Structure 1
Amino acid sequence: MALFSSSILSFSTLFLFMLGIASAQLSSNFYSSSCPTALSIIRGTVNTAVSKEKRMGASLLRLHFHDCFVNGCDASVLLDDTINFTGEKTAMPNANSLRGYEVIDTIKSQLEKQCPGVVSCADILAVAARDSVVKLGGTTWTVPLGRRDATTASFVDANKNLPSPSLNLSDLISAFRKKGFTAPEMVTLSGGHTIGQVQCKVIRDRIYNETNIDPNFAASIKKNCPRPVGVGDTNLSSLDQTTRVFDNTYFKDLVNKKGLMHSDQQLFNGGSTNSRVNTYSQNSAKFFSDFGCAMIKMGNLSPLTGSKGEIRTNCRKTN
């Protein structure tokens, strides 16, 4: 057991060391000379898209998460399949679920007109996620920039690395630990579910079969999510009760046994993460501050920098 603990400590130290190197290669003013209007172009397009459809804010935030958790923040999630590889778009966690590709296309098109071949798709994803949160009333954070884009994507790794909404707490903690996150940071990042919606097929088992759920809440969701499998599978339910606003309602809902997905309610089910959920349910400022820090850390997961990768002209395909 001591040897195991020592190995974990060594791995964690090495991970944080490598993370520090990666972070040092990114800079918040990376485009200040090469494309000074980059951030304003991204912000303007995101604001327009989210104003048109509030749900898009959650979709853009989720795109960044699903990119970073599969081989790092390299925009691999945006690549269409080719004869050389099957990409991440059709993996189980993403197929008929991930959205926002067209918004990223619009941003990229505008940036290519203004600063050809300069701003990476990976950086667009990172900034668009931040701007989406801000647009919906949430916190802001400084996004380190300078990521480059991958030239391949992995269907297998997307299926393997993205946490399932059916996971129990111990498996959730393990999945995030593999990416260098502590259990409290996992709770923090899960707070992104304060915006967005989920399909009926993802939550049907929870609302019909689980007991750690408020019965009135379950009954209200069942009206939109009938029991027969295949009926209303794509009907949408809000992840919290103020889904168009980025706030701490998600955590208040968990305390009241109104978590919509199984993995959500696992964060407040008598386990080690209860205290963090309680804190956030009572202190939105603490959640906002921690969320910004956690998003910066997530955005630093294995970025391609320097001469690695490329700057794609079209985010859907390699140059």
Structure 2
Amino acid sequence: MTAHATRRRSASALSLAAALWLAVAAFAAAPGAFAAEPAHYLQLDPHWVGEPYQWQLEDGTVLQRGVTDESARAAVSARPGQERYALETLAMRSPVRIAAECWKRPQARFDACIERGEAGPSRARQHAEADSDRALDENLRRRSARAAWTGLDERTVARRLRRALDAQAAWDASAQARQPPARLDCATAGAGLPPLADAGQRRFRAALDAGARTPAGEAELIAAARLGHWRAAAALAKLALYDDDWESAQTLAAWLLERGAPAGYNALARSLDVAGSYEHGRATPGERDLVARLRRRAALSGDPGAQMDLADELEASDPAGAQRLRDCARQRFPDIDG
């Protein structure tokens, strides 16, 4: 697995937990002296000043909430019949055992009576990490399924993409490459597109209805692509780049090229463009030129995705060409904006 696919923990669930904690903490006193000196408190390390906390029973029942004072103290209270408690902050949970006798002591002798357990992650943090792990596992499963159906190995993919790059110069010198987009013949440009089988088209429509970036939508795209639907494969390649999934994007580009689908050139262009941006902060002039040439080839050969991409790029410099490209894409594939 490459570095970009290394397991990463998402902070979203923990951030939500933090927001909820801060909301309830807003009802507690701000850092400073307690409104009334508590009968008992736990002394924390100095850096825990102003920390939202919950004082809980061992089973997680919340007895009180608060914010540590300017001396990093957390007020605590007893529950009759209970000895096992926990002080939980956003990040940490510290179990303690406090016998009934301890509560009868003054604060000066209270701390020495407490039996402290080993601190660990807070329950909020554990839940957030579990949610993050589940989401990451699902993401990795989706990544692995995204292009596995092609059956192409890494060497085959590299060889096919290299062949396309090596042949680009010859296409650049062709009459087709010199054709102005504003004068593009839509019928001629799309004449060489591979046919789309009805079965694949039904699955592709189901993907659009579900939302291509949803798990259900992506599953439908894979099902359509397995049936030879090149638009579904092109959509998967684009989806892969949203997820920094370079391997899948390039594998899908190779699969498209093997089947004579111009979308393969645009999938390769997108992959090179995004990869260059990540590597250098932005693609180099040479990389941008190659991307533009590959995209132009795909667009003038009838790929609707490339036509829409190129139209966006030409909007300011060649509005007539941009409009013609969009017209061609929409005439053949009315759902292109969906």
- TM interval, shorter chain, is under 0.3
TM-score, reference length from structure 2: 0.23
- Larger Rg, first or second structure (1 or 2): 2
Q: Which has the higher contact order (CA 8 A, sep 6+)?
A: 1
More helix by proportion, 1 or 2? 2
Q: Is the strand fraction higher in 1 or 2?
A: 2
In the superposition, the TM-score normalised over structure 1's length comes to 0.24
